[in-house]
Chain A
Amino acid sequence: MSSALANHILGVAASGEKALGVFVTSGFPTPAETLSILNAIDEGGADFIELGMPFSDPLAEGLPIQHSSKVALKAGITMKQTLETARKFTAGSKTPLVLMGYANPIVKYGLSNFFRDARSSGVQGVILPDVLPEQDSPFLLAARENGVDLINLIAPTTPEERIRFIDSISTGFVYAVSVTGVTGSDLGSKKPIQTYLKRAAEILGHNPLLVGFGIRSHADVVEMAEHTQGAIVGSALVAVIDALWEDGSLSSLDRLKGVKSFVHELKYGISHG
């Protein structure tokens, strides 16, 4: 396993902790604040960060991330700005950064250009929930050529042999979608999710497994990651940011502190100044 991201996640798991991935939308609430939000997430204790590249028609997103994408696009976020923010963040932190987004803005930017610029911005992996894993797909070839991990997803509906195939062509990690649904969905009963994750973890032979969608709290992380190397939180943080920035009584320092302490709580179960 030559992926630095995979090794990093396995390293966290080997130390007895669960790897925590935290998602935030680039440009939300404003493009200028994204870098300091990334730094606050980092200080809070995230093991890696997913930076969302906003798209006008995000099929896999629930309301919080739809809303954050819309706000970011209205604020004029561009792919160049997102990559520039990534570059600045990775220049100052060792915490791995991955990009998450949808096919069309990448196609428009140009596949090789995108993966080349992602790489030179220090980005380690890319997650595209509407691009299906396919042997020698143009996305996969462009990612490999530039040494960027293309992280694929599995779902509760994915048959075992397909999980095996997805594992075989993914690098970085395999992203297990917790429930049939969009980001921020209710997890409902956790038992069937754990059964599915346990089975998936047994099948995987090449990559760490992380679970995401609908995970809101430290308790969720602990419970959902029982059979995985870690968990990913997105909508919950985006909703927290939304609330912090809506509150006119807070200074920008207060808001960033709020982000940091929410992430710290997710990771360690205790809040932190």
Chain B
Amino acid sequence: MSISHDLVQKLPDGNGRFGPYGGSYVPEILVPALQELVINFTQAWGDPTFQQAYHELLETYVGRPTALTFANRLTEELGGAKIYLKREDLCHTGAHKINNTIGQILLARRMGKTRIIAETGAGQHGVATATVCAKFGMPCIVYMGAEDMERQHLNVMRMKLLGAEVRPAVSGSQTLKDATNEAIRDWVTNVRDTFYIIGSVVGPHPYPMMVRTLHEVIGNEVKSQLKQAEGRSLPDALVACVGGGSNAMGLFGPFLGDSSVQMFGVEASGEGLDGLHAATLTLGEPGVLHGAMSYLLQDAEGQISLAHSISAGLDYPGVGPEHSYLKDTGRVSYLTASDSEAIMGVKLLSSTEGIIPALETAHAIAALPSLVTQFPKDAVLVVNCSGRGDKDMGTISNYV
């Protein structure tokens, strides 16, 4: 098992910076807790006992490795490069999110923390956190925007069934941004016994690095699976949707040093780039939100703007700091897909491959028609199929 390789070789630097991005912008109260987290995660990740527990749960509980599926009918339909799907939709709870929560709950237990908190937008990360808390018998509090609780009622029921307490965030816009504020305020108040499981590659150092590392199992599996399927471990391009950016970093991370591999992140342009959207990297500007410097949607006064996307998991005015760095350096290209293009993506993948993707994932699918034809037909593209669409059937049913 190769371990801790990427912690030393890749960014962030010792201050948690990816170029000018990342860092820690938090109340002083949290400083010792974050330092403790850096030390404990680095030690745990290098500890074969921790690695074994993490990989065993990924195999026997989450169902890893997830399949790499050749999308032959989709490839034919689009008439370009060969498309493979990395099937994170097959993970327990229906999305990639659980790779991260498994790792963080193991860390929480190792650190002797007795109470788990999390934020959630669509409820996918909340469900993934409530699930591991049930599995380990730990109390779990999930903050969720009061408005999202109404929109994603089914996931609220799932979390409750799993034994979590779902607390409505009633401040601000009552969505993911505000749920994150509430979770941080809880952590500031209960920092001594509480572990905060963040749901994406966002937040203060070390979260962006830690969450990326816990998801890199995705890209690592792709390397060996592609070797089997195509006789080469490097694809020509990778494609993933970007909300906070965790499923994208999990896929991209292990390939960042392979310069022949092109990478495409797809953001939500909502109603369109001239309307309400969540295209943070495409139209935002650098600033500070939720503990890190990164691209943000903000107004002329530096107040955070409201994001919009049909997909609650992409409906966030910030983005992980590493993505900001990868955008500026040009290593990753960021594209957008609108609400209606995402619905088209759901229909396209469902009808050609028999896979109903999550609305988040559908944004990555929607980018394919114009992308695959830019490559020769023998080129290989891997798309992260980050989640399944069951949770979105209510929304999707308005369009079929």
Q: Given A56-B172, A59-B26, A130-B25, are A181 and B188 neighbors across the interface (CB < 8 Å)?
A: yes
Q: Given A55-B303, A59-B26, are A108 and B298 neighbors across the interface (CB < 8 Å)?
A: yes
How many of chain A's residues have a CB under 8 angstroms from any CB in B? 41
A125 is an interface residue with CB less than 8 A from chain B: no
Among B188, B192, B296, B298, the most chain A Cβ lie within 10 Å of the Cβ of: B188
A99 is an interface residue with CB less than 8 A from chain B: no
Whether A109 pairs with B302 at a CB distance below 8 angstroms is yes
B351 is an interface residue with CB less than 8 A from chain A: no
When distances are taken between beta carbons in the complex, the residues of chain A under 8 Å from B29 are: 155-157, 177, 180-181
Whether A129 pairs with B32 at a CB distance below 8 angstroms is no
When distances are taken between beta carbons in the complex, the residues of chain B under 8 Å from A153 are: 27-28
A70 to chain B, nearest CB (A): 7
When distances are taken between beta carbons in the complex, the residues of chain B under 8 Å from A177 are: 27-29
Among A59, A108, A177, the most chain B Cβ lie within 10 Å of the Cβ of: A59
Whether A158 pairs with B32 at a CB distance below 8 angstroms is yes
B342 is an interface residue with CB less than 8 A from chain A: no
Q: Given A154-B28, A155-B27, A158-B32, are A107 and B302 neighbors across the interface (CB < 8 Å)?
A: yes
Whether A104 pairs with B190 at a CB distance below 8 angstroms is no
Whether A108 pairs with B301 at a CB distance below 8 angstroms is yes
How many of chain B's residues have a CB under 8 angstroms from any CB in A? 37
Taken residue by residue from 132 to 148, chain A's Cβ proximity to chain B (1 for < 8 Å, 0 otherwise) reads as: 11000000000000000
Q: Which of B28, B32, B286, B303 is A105 in contact with, Cβ under 8 Å? A: B303
A78 is an interface residue with CB less than 8 A from chain B: yes
Closest to B29 in A: A155
Whether A57 pairs with B188 at a CB distance below 8 angstroms is no
B350 is an interface residue with CB less than 8 A from chain A: no
Whether A180 pairs with B188 at a CB distance below 8 angstroms is yes
Whether A130 pairs with B26 at a CB distance below 8 angstroms is yes
B219 to chain A, nearest CB (A): 32
A60 is an interface residue with CB less than 8 A from chain B: yes
How far, in whole Å, are A62 and B28 apart by their CA atoms in the complex? 16
Q: Which of B28, B181, B301 is A155 in contact with, Cβ under 8 Å? A: B28
Residues of A within 8 A of B (CB): 55-60, 62-63, 66, 70, 73, 78-79, 102-109, 129-133, 152-159, 162, 166, 177, 180-182, 185
The 8 closest A-B pairs by CB, nearest first: A108-B302, A105-B302, A155-B29, A103-B288, A56-B303, A181-B189, A104-B288, A130-B25
